Amino acid sequence: MTLLAPITQTLTHLDWLEAEAIHILREVAGQCANPVLLFSGGKDSLVLLRLAEKAFRPGRFPFPLMHIDTGHNYEEVTAFRDHRAAELGERLIVRSLEDSIQQGRIVLKSPLEARNRHQSVTLLDAIAEFGFDACIGGARRDEEKARAKERIFSFRDAFGQWDPKNQRPELWDLYNARIDPGENIRAFPISNWTELDVWQYIAREGLELPSIYFAHEREVVVRRDGALVPVTPLTPAKAGDDVQRLSVRFRTVGDITCTAPVRSTARSVDEILLETATTELTERGATRLDDQTSEASMEQRKKEGYF
Amino acid sequence: MATPTLIDPRTNTHVDLGVLRFLTCGSVDDGKSTLIGRLLYDSKAILADALQAIERTSQRRGHADVDLSLLTDGLQAEREQGITIDVAYRYFSTGTRNFIIADAPGHEQYTRNMVTAASTADLALILVDARKGVLTQTRRHLTLAHLVGIRHLVVVVNKMDLVGYDQAIFERIREDVLGFARELGAPDLRFLPLSALAGDMVVERGDNLPWYEGPTLVELLETAALEDRRQTLPFRFPVQWVIRPHQDFRGYAGRVASGRVQVGDALTVLPSGRGSRVKAIHLGDAKLAEAVAGQSVTLELEDDIDISRGDLLAEAAQPPLSARALEVDLCWLSEAPSRPAGRYLLRHGSRETRALLDGSAQRLDLNSLSRELETRLAMNDIARLRLKLQQPLPVDPYLENRAMGAFILVDESTHATVAAGFVRETL
């Protein structure tokens, strides 16, 4: 026996963030009867899966994985999504906007219109179909100012709406997931992570990622404001466009029509870390073509039931 | 200016001082938004596109310089209605430590917002306008920060540029605050003169405060001790989830609320009172010899005993007291007032039980620190009262063990979180 006070140890910032996220995942499992984890194959949701492994292995995940497929995703990402779900041996549900469109649940103004905001319809239908009472998502508060004010356990009414003026106070690590039937909780375990934290965690854990996160040659239209629009069958170049073949990577992967790559030569996670630490543009500012249309567009979409 | 240094966790080329959470107390008039904007801007947490956006807005509004307070500008819903929505969280890193700022706006719902922001904070910055000195608001901030048990209280005397960087003014404010703090019984405070607008003593020292020899704000934030004290308290582990993939494995998943645990340690399970020893500690694929407060792990025990979510694993030599009646402080958060003798759901760690508000409450007047009897609590009220519990609850007093003395009350009909609670003692 020693009479000396034990030496305390400080958790590194990644250990701290990881411990908080694992605690949140377990609270969702403990408090909700039928949760689901939203998994796109993107980096943030891949981090969620690693955290879920740490929270629940050697047991199975107490929730299935679900992807709301806009039909406008890069093939590399959806293939990776399927590969990862199979590797984990967890159930993957895919519900697609294409089906919602054919059922007349979504009406597009034009066939090539950005489909991000329409995801809400398919998501809410899927929630009703399976009776999910909670959706776990990989959103982060540093992404956007509406997210900065959202709770870790965020209450949505029967219409999937977020009411920023009527959020439940969230104190200590005591979360309140109680709802009535038809209502829903959105839980965000990596709320407190920044983009740099995510990349540092990917590096530390040696997580695999879809190839389009790394630098590759790609034909893009260089817009006058500097944004790069990838040339794809969905987004073909028009006459007079400045088409160039550049070395690029995606900082965020989503709907093809509204996600832009950035110029980069980073071919490894370490090189991406270096670029992320010295970048001058925010993740959404650099890569989301849709968020720039309106200063409040994320806030608006969240009120409509978006993630 | 240096770009944020990178910590490579594999090569450990830099020191990682963890995550410090702090809140800022003050209103727009105190320059709080400008101070946060200055911290984010000078630490390079603001990227070029975000900066350009506020430059455009500043020009449109006719400001000569970039108005840093715009960085904390709110949502469309807030601008339209001229209100502010409780707490916003912001992030920056100095390369050695990550910071999470809980930015709680002032105005009418102040107490509720501040208690919410303070519940997860290691440190509070209490802003005082150098021209105005200690106000009623300053006293409220100190009282609340003390109630919520924030370890580091830093009184920031801002707008020193508007009083000619006069040391005498700073000293007078310090004496005033210390006088009140003694009345409150608050622990040691730190004082810091600065100008958020000019940037003196935030990240850079500047040339205007040569008489001040203490640390800058960022130095202070980087060196403040984290909640390490939690690791020296008795071991407490609320079980969140039981992992049982097959007959040969039964793991208890949770986050260490306080203390530390090693393989071989003797534990008591509450409320059953049964005992066992730690067989293994898992974190992912890794087996740990020890887990400390703050870590999320999975524990295996030597004996096969019945344990489920809501149970508490505690150090056998120092178990907490289980009580069916508590004396508590409540901060009422809901717009609907409390029901006299009302029943609410109480959540403590991973455990839930019903609680009855027993008798009248002694409401605290935040200005005079006096107490008066009330039968109902309204939003923002802070009051001391007794709770009767449906089932015995293992707790520690909040002042001794924050994680084990904190609870919330939930209204079972609306599911709203209606109160934040602090255990004072078991009855």
Query: What interface predicted TM-score (ipTM) does this complex get?
Result: 0.91
Task: Convert A225-240 to b/e letters by CB count within 10 Å (16 or more is b).
Answer: eebbbbbeeebeeeee
B318 vs B70: which has the higher pLDDT: B318
pLDDT attached to residue B184:
84
pLDDT for residue B301 is more than 60: yes
pLDDT for residue A275 is more than 90: no
pLDDT attached to residue B4:
37
CB contact under 8 A, A173 and B120: yes
B409, B374 Cβ separation under 8 angstroms: no
- Residue B257 dihedral angles phi and psi, to the nearest 5°: -75, -35
Kindly list the residues from chain A whose CB atom is less than 8 angstroms away from the CB atom of residue B402. Answer: 172
Q: Which of A111-115, A161-165, B324-328 has the highest mean pLDDT?
A: B324-328
If you average pLDDT over residues B210-227, what whole number do you get?
A: 91
Helical spans, DSSP H, in A12-139: 13-31, 43-56, 75-88, 97-102, 119-130
Instruction: For B369-402, write each residue's pLDDT tens digit.
Output: 889 999 899 998 999 999 999 999 999 999 999 9
Report the alpha-carbon distance of residue B238 to residue B351 in Å, rounded.
8
Instruction: For B134-193, write each residue's pLDDT tens digit.
Output: 988 888 888 889 889 898 999 999 999 999 999 999 999 999 999 988 888 877 799 999
pLDDT > 90 fraction of chain A, expressed in percent and rounded: 55
pLDDT for residue A9 is more than 90: no
CB contact under 8 A, B86 and A149: yes
Mutate to test the interface with A, among B73, B331, B415 (most CBs of A within 10 A): B415
Report the alpha-carbon distance of residue A113 to residue B149 in Å, rounded.
52
Domains of chain B (ranges, CATH numbers)? 19-226 (3.40.50.300), 230-315 (2.40.30.10), 321-426 (2.40.30.10)
pLDDT attached to residue B76:
64
- Cα Rg of chain A (Å, integer): 20
Chain B residues 367-396 within an 8 A CB cutoff of chain A: none
Task: Convert B268-283 to b/e letters by CB count within 10 Å (16 or more is b).
Answer: bbbeeeeebebebbbb
Kindly list the residues from chain A whose CB atom is less than 8 angstroms away from the CB atom of residue B120. Answer: 171-173
pLDDT attached to residue B392:
95
Kindly list the residues from chain B whose CB atom is less than 8 angstroms away from the CB atom of residue A53. Answer: 284
Domains of chain A (ranges, CATH numbers)? 13-196+296-303 (3.40.50.620), 210-287 (no CATH)
CA angle at residue A232 from A230 to A236, to 5 degrees? 90
What distance in Å separates residue A154's CA from the closest CA in chain B?
A: 12
Residue B407: both structure tokens together: 């609870």
pLDDT attached to residue A233:
85
Least confident of A11-20, B50-59, B406-415: B50-59
pLDDT attached to residue A299:
64
Kindly list the residues from chain B whose CB atom is less than 8 angstroms away from the CB atom of residue A172. Answer: 119-120, 402-403, 406, 408
Chain B residues 92-151 within an 8 A CB cutoff of chain A: 93, 97-98, 100, 112, 115-116, 119-120
pLDDT attached to residue B103:
83
If you average pLDDT over residues A99-124, what whole number do you get?
A: 81
B111 vs A29: which has the higher pLDDT: A29
B47 band by pLDDT with thresholds 50, 70 and 90? low
Question: Is A214 near chain B, with CB under 8 Å?
Answer: no
If you average pLDDT over residues A105-123, what whole number do you get?
A: 79
Chain B residues 290-349 within an 8 A CB cutoff of chain A: 292, 294-296, 309, 333, 345, 347-349
Question: Is A78 near chain B, with CB under 8 Å?
Answer: no
Antiparallel, parallel or unpaired: β B382-395 and B351-364: antiparallel
Instruction: For B78-106, write each residue's pLDDT tens digit.
Output: 666 555 667 888 888 887 899 999 887 66
Q: What is the enclosing helix (H) or strand (E) of B157?
A: strand B152-158
A111 vs B198: which has the higher pLDDT: B198
Instruction: For A227-257, write each residue's pLDDT tens digit.
Output: 888 998 888 888 889 999 999 999 888 778 7
If you average pLDDT over residues A113-127, what whole number do you get?
A: 84
Kindly list the residues from chain A whose CB atom is less than 8 angstroms away from the CB atom of residue B87. Answer: 149
Report the alpha-carbon distance of residue A123 to residue A96 in Å, rounded.
9
Instruction: For A276-295, write each residue's pLDDT tens digit.
Output: 777 666 665 656 555 444 44
**What contacts 24+ positions apart, CB below 8 Å, involve A125-132?**
A125/A95, A125/A100, A126/A66, A126/A68, A126/A93, A126/A95, A127/A36, A127/A160, A127/A184, A129/A95, A130/A34, A130/A36, A130/A93, A131/A34, A132/A34, A132/A35, A132/A36, A132/A184
Least confident of B13-27, B164-178, B254-268, B289-303: B13-27
pLDDT for residue B331 is more than 90: yes
pLDDT for residue B10 is more than 50: no
Which three-class secondary structure state does DSSP give residue B162? helix
B1 vs A285: which has the higher pLDDT: A285
pTM: 0.91
Dihedral sign for Cα atoms in the order B133, B137, B139, B143:
negative
B80 vs B409: which has the higher pLDDT: B409
Kindly list the residues from chain A whose CB atom is less than 8 angstroms away from the CB atom of residue B349. Answer: 174
